Structure formats: structure tokens, C-alpha cells
Amino acid sequence: MKRKLLSAALILCITLMILPVSAAAEKAVGVEIDGTQVEFTESSGSPFVDSNSRTLVPLRVTMEACGCEVTWDNENYRAVVYKNGVTVVVPIGENRIIVNGVPEEIDTAAVAKNNRTYLPIRAVLEAFGSDVGWDGENWTVTVSLHERDYGECDDHTAAIVAAIGRNTGISQEDREVLTDYAQRLFANLTLTDDQAASVANKFSTLRISHGSLEQGLDGWADTAANTIAVDDGKFTAALNQVYYYNTFYHEVNHIIAGNLKSCEFISEALVETLAEEFSGAADYASDYRPWVIAVRMMAEVIGTEVLEKAILTGNPQVVFTALQQYDGKDSASAYLLPLMDQLKSYYMAMDGENLRVAATEFCGYIYAAYENRYHVSAEEDPVMEAYASYLKGMWSGGTPLQMSKLPVYFRKDAAPDYVVVTDREKTYCDDGTFIVYLYERPCAG
């Protein structure tokens, strides 16, 4: 009888010892971001502490609350999180993350549970520069985000911003938009002293006139196409009020590029690409005309530095000179300029059949240069194939490969390391959608 009583007492003691641990294990974990509590629901899933005593959080609801873009790579079973130039790839079930292409070991793994993905919050958010703490009393993860501050500029950017501030001939609103844009742009471009002085001089005397939708030029009443007038060395940008941001950044880039206008095909492509990458405007829209795609394909061969030089010097010839190293032609400009004119003319005429012929010839030229430089076929590069698909498919039946967003070339502080590609013909994957990690491409190294 004593033995039975002792056994019962022992069981009771063990049970009492286990209960607090069990209750703690089931205690709800909270997440607080800059003082705001993240709301978790049955649908989103809730944070929990894993067997390594690390807090795992539901992927989408938590990362989006931190201002991140979230993508799921089904082909490789990975979560991809992006913000402000940092891409963090989180393989499921592995004790590592990949930050901007560089693997980093971590002490626990992301998991898939109940059809949801859970990430180790500290490892992932610290990769974005956030401070992550633990409030043990309230069982809450505390996160302090650190956003980029454009207030600190290098000397060149500071001189340009000061020149804008001295310009009393534009409205306060235009001055603020121009200042913000200049800070974004010149934090990423490398200027010489002379180039910075030239831009500062232009911006100090810039004038801006505002039109209306009906005053669109070149017969494109529904677009943002407008002009820059030059009078005694002073620039006036005529903007379409309805498409304010589109025209503002586009025309300002023309002023920066100056004589680049002598090659309209390259000029329009570069100023549009800069405007899209640096505008910071949520409603900015680009329609990816053939010159935009064609010059991006050139960038894949010759590098962004050459295009940056063309913008800052106003000299399109540097693009042709760089291509000539790899294209096997006597003169890249003599070959490409007539072909560029064809691409533009057929596009404007909505002549899909002839545009496809010209695009096929252009892609053949670029593919040969790509192979000569990297010693691998461009057909093995899904980004190049997607560009070619865009170019050949305009006005003629659509594009088998389509990127959700185009790669970023100039904005070094906000360049995702991946693109999502829709593969309508399932050439590359059975799912019809896949992710290309830019650092894994043939031309990356």
C-alpha cells in the first residue's frame, strides 16, 4: 500500500513539474514592429518557439508588416524576402539563409507547417539591418526597423541639392520633388567634378511649365510625351499635369544627359530606365517600348557602367564602342543605327510582322556578342530569353516568357537579386512560374 501511495505521489510531483513548462510552450508569442503589434489570425498562422528556442513567425504577414516584398520559390522550395536593396533567400529545412547571393549559417531552420511557411525572425530581419529583441515578460519579439535616410549626401549631391534650393523660378512642390529625385539618383551615379558642376548649373536655372492632357505632343494625347526647350543655355521642361511624375523624371533625365539626344533610340531608353528606377512614385508607369528592352539587352553584354558613362557624358558612341569589342562587326554604330530605326518605325506603325523580323535580327546580334563575352549561349539565360520574347512579341501575339519586374541596373541601393518569370509554354519549368537568381546567371561573374 505504501508503495502505491509513493508511486501516486511521485506521479503527482512529476505532473506538477511538467505543467508550467507545457503551459509556457503553448503561450502565445507576439511580434511588435516599431511599437506596433502585428495581428496574427487563424488564417495567417501564429509565431511559435521551436526546439532550438528560436522564434519562428508566419512568413507573409510578418515580413509585409516590415515593408518587405515576399515571394515563394516553389521550384526550389525557398522563401524570398526583399527590401531596400537586400534580398534574403530562406531555404526550407536548412540552417542557412542567402543574403544578396552570399550564404550565411544560422542556428535554426525555416519550416513549412499546416500549409504555411515560418521563418526564423531574428536571422532574417537582422539581415535587413533591423534590431531584434525579446521581451520575456510579455513573450514578445520587438523589432526596430532602420529605413534609409537620404538626408546625408556626398559633396557632389549636396552641391546639386543646394543649386535646386537656389532656384526660385520653380514652385515649392517642383523643388521638393526635384530634390528628392536628385538625392536618390546621384547617391547611385558616380560623377566627376565637372559633371556635378554641369548638373548643378542646369538645375539652378531650370524652369518647369505645366500643361494638360489635351496638350500632349507628337500626336500622343494620352501619353506623357512632352518637350524641353533651351533658351540662352537655360532649360524649360514642359510637363503633362495628368502624368506629372512620368514626365517630370523623364524630362529631367534628358536635361542631365544633354547631347545623348543625338541618338534618340539610346537616349529614350536610358532616360526612361532611370526614371522608372529612381522615381519613387507609386504611380509611375512604363510601357517597355522596344528601345527600352533593346538597350537593356545591350547592358547585359557591356555592363551598366558603360551606360552610366553615356548618360553623364551625353555621348552615345561609348555604347557602340563597347559593343564592338564583342560583336565582330567593323562598326557597331553603322550596323545598329539603321536596325534601331526599323525597330522604332515598325513599333510606332504597330507592324508586328516586320517588327518581329527586325527584333529577330537584333537579338541575333546581341546573342552573338553575349556568347563572345561570356562563352556561353544567351539561350541558357532566362533573362535574355525573356527580353527577346518581349521584343519579338510586340504587336504580334504576346510573349511566352514574361518578367513580373525587369532587373534593376542603375539603382544600386535598391536592386533585387531575383526576378519572377512567367513561363507560358513551360519551357523552363512545369509550374509555369519560376525565379531567376541574378547572381547565378552566366553573366553574373
> Is residue 15 domain-resident?
no
Determine what percent of the chain is predicted with pLDDT higher than 70.
81
Radius of gyration for the alpha carbons in the chain, expressed in angstroms and rounded? 27
Mean pLDDT is lowest, of 11-25, 156-170, 350-364, for: 11-25
148: Cβ contacts below 8 Å, ≥ 6 apart: 84, 413
Which pLDDT does position 10 carry in this prediction? 40
* Final residue before a domain boundary, out of 90, 118, 144: 144
> Is residue 1 domain-resident?
no
256: Cβ contacts below 8 Å, ≥ 6 apart: 199, 202, 311, 312
Rounded to 5°, the CA angle 88-94-96 comes to: 45
pLDDT at 221 over 50: no
> Is residue 194 domain-resident?
no
pLDDT at 231 over 90: no
Instruction: Tell me what the pLDDT averaged over the chain comes to.
Output: 82
> Is residue 116 domain-resident?
yes
pLDDT at 154 over 90: no
Q: How confident is the model at residue 444 (pLDDT cuts 50, 70, 90)?
A: confident
Which pLDDT does position 21 carry in this prediction? 38
> Is residue 199 domain-resident?
no
* Final residue before a domain boundary, out of 125, 144, 163: 144
pLDDT at 440 over 50: yes
Q: How confident is the model at residue 212 (pLDDT cuts 50, 70, 90)?
A: low
| In a shared domain, residues 289 and 434 | yes
Mean pLDDT is lowest, of 37-46, 61-70, 401-410, for: 401-410
Determine what percent of the chain is predicted with pLDDT higher than 90.
39
Name which residue leads in pLDDT, 238 or 116: 116
pTM over the 0.85 mark? no
Q: Contact at 8 Å (CB) between 149 and 413?
A: no
| In a shared domain, residues 443 and 294 | yes
* Final residue before a domain boundary, out of 123, 144, 165: 144
Left (φ > 0), alpha (ψ -120 to 50) or beta: where does 25 sit? alpha
pLDDT at 235 over 70: no
Mean pLDDT of 259-282: 79
Element (H, E) at 402: strand 401-403
> Is residue 60 domain-resident?
yes
Left (φ > 0), alpha (ψ -120 to 50) or beta: where does 346 sit? alpha
> Is residue 169 domain-resident?
no
Cα 51 to chain center, whole Å? 36
Q: Contact at 8 Å (CB) between 416 and 82?
A: yes
Q: Tell me which residue has cell 531584434.
A: 132
Q: Contact at 8 Å (CB) between 184 and 280?
A: yes
| In a shared domain, residues 300 and 445 | yes
pLDDT at 1 over 50: no
Q: Pairing relation of β-strands 36-37 and 228-231?
A: unpaired
Which pLDDT does position 366 carry in this prediction? 96
Which pLDDT does position 3 carry in this prediction? 43
Mean pLDDT of 199-209: 86
Range of the domain at 414: 281-445
Mean pLDDT of 67-95: 91
Distance CA 194, CA 216 (A): 35
> Is residue 414 domain-resident?
yes
Set of cell numbers at residue 266: 539610346
CATH of the domain at 89: 3.30.457.10
Render pLDDT for 21-60 as a digit per residue (tens, 0 to 9): 334 445 789 999 999 999 999 889 999 998 888 899 999 9
Q: Contact at 8 Å (CB) between 296 and 267?
A: no
DSSP E strand stretches across 11-164: 30-33, 36-37, 48-49, 55-58, 69-73, 78-83, 86-91, 96-99, 102-105, 111-113, 116-120, 131-135, 140-144
DSSP E strand stretches across 174-329: 207-211, 228-231, 234-240
Render pLDDT for 342-374 as a digit per residue (tens, 0 to 9): 999 999 999 999 999 999 999 999 999 999 999
Distance CA 276, CA 405 (A): 11
Set of cell numbers at residue 281: 512614385
DSSP E strand stretches across 176-224: 207-211
Sign of the Cα pseudo-torsion (390, 391, 392, 397, in order): positive
Mean pLDDT of 184-205: 89
Alpha-carbon distance values, 104 to 282, 373, 438 (Å) = 33, 31, 18
pLDDT at 213 over 50: no
- As for how many domains the chain has, the answer is 2
